[in-house]
Amino acid sequence: MAGINAMEKKLAEFKCDTNEALCLKLVRFPEDIEDDGTTFHPEFSHQIFGDDEVAFGYKGLQIQLYYTAGNLSTLFKVKYSSKVSEKFDCVEADDVEGKIREIIPAGFTCNVDDFISLLDKDANFKPFGTLLHTYTVHSEEAGELTYQIYKADMTCPGFHEYHERLQSFLMWFIETASFIDADDDHWDFFLVFEKYNKDGETLYATVGYMTVYNYYVYPDKTRPRVSQMLILPPYQGEGHGAQLLEAVHRFYCNVPKVQDITAEDPSENYVKLRDYVLAKLCQSLPSFASDKLLLGFSDDMVKEAQDKLKINKKHARRVYEILRLKTTDMSNADQARDYRLEVKKRLFGPYRKNQRELEKMKKCLQPGELESHMGQMDTQVQHEELEKSYQEVVGDYRRIIERLATQA
């Protein structure tokens, strides 16, 4: 038994955290390759390495996935100080290289010198598609940086191969990501690039992207649905997501056949971003003027948000609540009470549905079963949960209002 435990302890030394072992880079200059400051790591690796996010069989494992900043030409190397099969018989190491090859397209190099030559060719890389929007972001280190947003599709020469490289990032940063059938012509692609100078030339670096699928809506409309959105880690927290989402909304606002814009299974962070962008867009609409907001949610708001900004009723309602809070004097007891009741009325919807279901249950459940369900629907518990939901919603809204104030 002692021998088995000793063996298990030895083998445990060959387990590596794949989130730490995987090293990603967006390389602009040859010196970036050896600069640890340009390395970033995945948030998730379970889709490739299993729920434990562990690779077995290596000590000092390092998986290098380096990309040229523009065209995303790829260097792929697996390094380690020792491998389990070199020390123990009948024990196999995980096929780390094979797992990575499943998600990165062919055409990568395993040679650093070859990668540097690909880096030189990045000077010829130009963004795909049609320019939609240009904006600047101030950096304390670099001053004013210029970014551009493009709309592309699979008819753009070279875009198919580029997109295959780009979407490999999804596996590391979106928890339930999957690759799309990019050959379906219902897809639209929106890309963010940074313009920068290298040896006197203007180059472009990939910042992030969004995919949107255009669904048919009877009889003659479409409903663009955001499928995937990713700002690469070196650029996160700089406002690029908001710029991208706003540019996409403005693009579809000019497409007459678009009914409204939605998102597929949005994350909590995406919902907060969307709330901010839609509130920013709606605050200039006449129906969302301060005096109108205090009168309550109206059909005029629904219609104007739909007609001018392709925002559906559900999202328009959230925007109304955000902008009404912005307008409401919460130190005024009457205004504060009216706002609280207005929001809680919407939040109470699911509880009201439960009450209707309870009435149906009374007709078909046995007394013991009914008592159990009654306990789940206790009025006091409902009130406590409703108040908790209200406070969470208002907290989110206040953060959006603070962000709107900084952009004013």
Residue type, 195: K
Largest CA distance in the chain: 82
Angle between helices 367-376 and 349-362 (to 10 degrees): 170
What tokens does 154 get? 């699979």
**209-242 exposure pattern, b = at least 16 Cβ within 10 A, e = fewer:** bbbbbbeeeeeeebbbbbbbbbbbbbbeebbbbb
What tokens does 218 get? 């009877």
- Which residues touch 24 (CB under 8 Å, ≥6 apart)? 39, 40, 41, 42, 65, 66, 67, 169, 172, 233
Helix (H, G, I), strand (E, B) or coil at 242: helix
Residue 157 is classified by DSSP as T
Count of other CB atoms within 10 angstroms of residue 117:
12
- Would you say 215 and 225 are in contact if contact means Cβ atoms under 8 Å apart? yes
Backbone angles phi, psi at 399, to 5 degrees: -65, -35
Q: Could you say which of 175, 264, 371, 384 is catalytic?
A: 264
- Would you say 392 and 384 are in contact if contact means Cβ atoms under 8 Å apart? no
Residue 350 is classified by DSSP as H
| Beta pairing class for 82-83 and 187-198 | unpaired
| Residue 371 annotated among the catalytic residues of the structure | no
Helix (H, G, I), strand (E, B) or coil at 30: helix
Question: Long-range contacts made by residues 399-406, C-beta under 8 angstroms, separation at least 24?
Answer: 399/272, 400/272, 400/275, 400/276, 400/279, 400/322, 401/322, 401/325, 401/326, 403/276, 404/276, 404/279, 404/280, 404/283, 404/326
- Catalogue the active-site residues: 264
